[in-house]
Amino acid sequence: MARLSYAEAACAALERAMRDDARVVVLGEDVGRGGIFGQYRGLQERFGAGRVIDTPISEATIMGAAVGMALAGLVPVVEMRVVDFALCAMDEIVNQAAKARFMLGGQARAGLVARMPIGLWSGSAAQHSQSLEAWFAHVPGLAVVAPATPQDNYALLAAAIACGDPVAYLEHKELWSLAGEVAEDAAVPLGRAAVLREGGDLTLVAWSRTVHAALEAAAQAQRRGIGVEVIDLRTLWPWDRDTVLASCARTGRLLVAHEAVRVGGFGAEIAAEVAETLGIRVKRLGSPRIPVGYAKPLEDEARVDAARLLAAIESFG
C-alpha cells in the first residue's frame, strides 16, 4: 500500500489504465501540465502529447471530440476542470454520449469518463461551487460516480474506465489534497456502497465530501448515546439499493445528506425509495436553494457540516 493524496490516487489509476490499454487517452484543458489539481501530473511526459492531449478552451468541442473518439473505439478520459464548466457541453454529454448505445441499437457505445469536479470550492463563489450530480443521475445511459477517499478515487476511476459506458465522474474540488492509504489491488465495482461505521439507531447515507462530515457527526452522536450507521454511497447510479435498505430495515430511520441543493437533490430519490419500500421515517439534509456566496459567512450557509448533521440526527428524537 502507498499513501497518496486524492489527486495522486486518481493519477496513479489513470497511469495504470494507460499503461495496460493503448486505447485509453486523455483530453482537456491544461492536462499536459498536469491539470489544475495535479491529477494528470507526469502523464504527458510518459505517454506523449498524442495520448494526453491539450485542447482549446471549448468544453463542447472537447466533449464532442471525446464522443467521436469513443465511438471509434478509443477510451477517452475527458477533463472538464469543474462541473460548472461542463454546462457548456451538456448536449454532447446528455444527447450524444448518454444516448449513443440506445439509438444505435447496441452497435456502438460511447465509453468515456467525464471528470467533472463538484462541490463548494472555498472562495470561488456561485459559478465554481456547484454540486450537480442529480442532473446526471436523471439521465438514462449515464453512470454517476462520486468518490470520497483516495482509495475509492483510485479504484472507482479504474472501474469507470473499464465499464464501457459513459460515466459522469464527480470528484470533489476540496478533496484533492486529502491523503490516505491506497491499495492498487483493491477493486471496487460500480454500484456498491461502503458501510463505514456501524450503528443501530439511524442510517446516514452520504457521498463525496459530505461523507467526512457524516463520520464526524456520527462520532459526536455516539458520545450522546445515538448509534449512527454511516454509508458512503460512492456510486449514485447505479446506487446500492440493497445495502441501504438492509441498513434502514435494522435501524428504522434514514437521514440522507449531501452538499447539493436539497430541493430536487438525489437524496430525495433515496428517501422516497426507502419510505415506499420500508415505510420508515426519513429525512433529508442539503444546501439551501441559494447561489453559493463569495464571502465566507455566505459560503458557510451552503455548507452541510458536522454540526448541521448532528442537529438533523438529534431531530429524530
The model's pLDDT over 239-283, given as tens digits with 9 standing for 90+, comes to 999 999 999 999 999 999 999 999 999 999 999 999 999 999 999
| Percent helix, strand and coil across the chain, each to the nearest 5 | 40, 20, 40
Q: Give mean pLDDT, residues 75-95.
A: 97
In 3D space, the residue among 125, 18, 27, 8 whose CA is nearest the CA of residue 68 turns out to be 27
**Residues in contact with 308: Cβ distance below 8 Å, sequence separation at least 6, in sequence order:** 285
* DSSP run (H or E) holding 62: helix 59-71
Residue limits of CATH 3.40.50.920 in the chain: 194-314
The residues annotated as belonging to the active site are 128
Residue limits of CATH 3.40.50.970 in the chain: 2-182
In 3D space, the residue among 179, 115, 119 whose CA is nearest the CA of residue 151 turns out to be 179
- 40: helix, strand or coil: coil
Calculate ∠ Cα 133-138-141, nearest 5°: 105
Q: Which amino acid is at 187?
A: A
What pLDDT was estimated at residue 164? 95
Q: Average pLDDT, whole number, for the chain?
A: 97
Q: What is the pTM of this model?
A: 0.96
Q: How confident is the model at residue 294 (pLDDT cuts 50, 70, 90)?
A: very high
What is 2-182's CATH number? 3.40.50.970
Strand residues in the chain grouped as ranges (E): 2-5, 24-28, 52-54, 75-79, 113-115, 143-145, 167-169, 179-182, 194-197, 202-206, 228-232, 235-237, 253-261, 281-287
- The 10s digit of each residue's pLDDT in 175-225 is 999 999 999 999 999 999 999 999 999 999 999 999 999 999 999 999 999
- The 10s digit of each residue's pLDDT in 39-84 is 999 999 999 999 999 999 999 999 999 999 999 999 999 999 999 9
Enumerate the β-bridge partners of residue 281. Answer: 253
Query: Is residue 90's pLDDT more than 90?
Result: yes
Query: Is residue 1's pLDDT more than 90?
Result: no
Domain 194-314 has CATH 3.30.70.260: no
What pLDDT was estimated at residue 123? 87
- Specify the DSSP class assigned to residue 307: H
What pLDDT was estimated at residue 211? 98
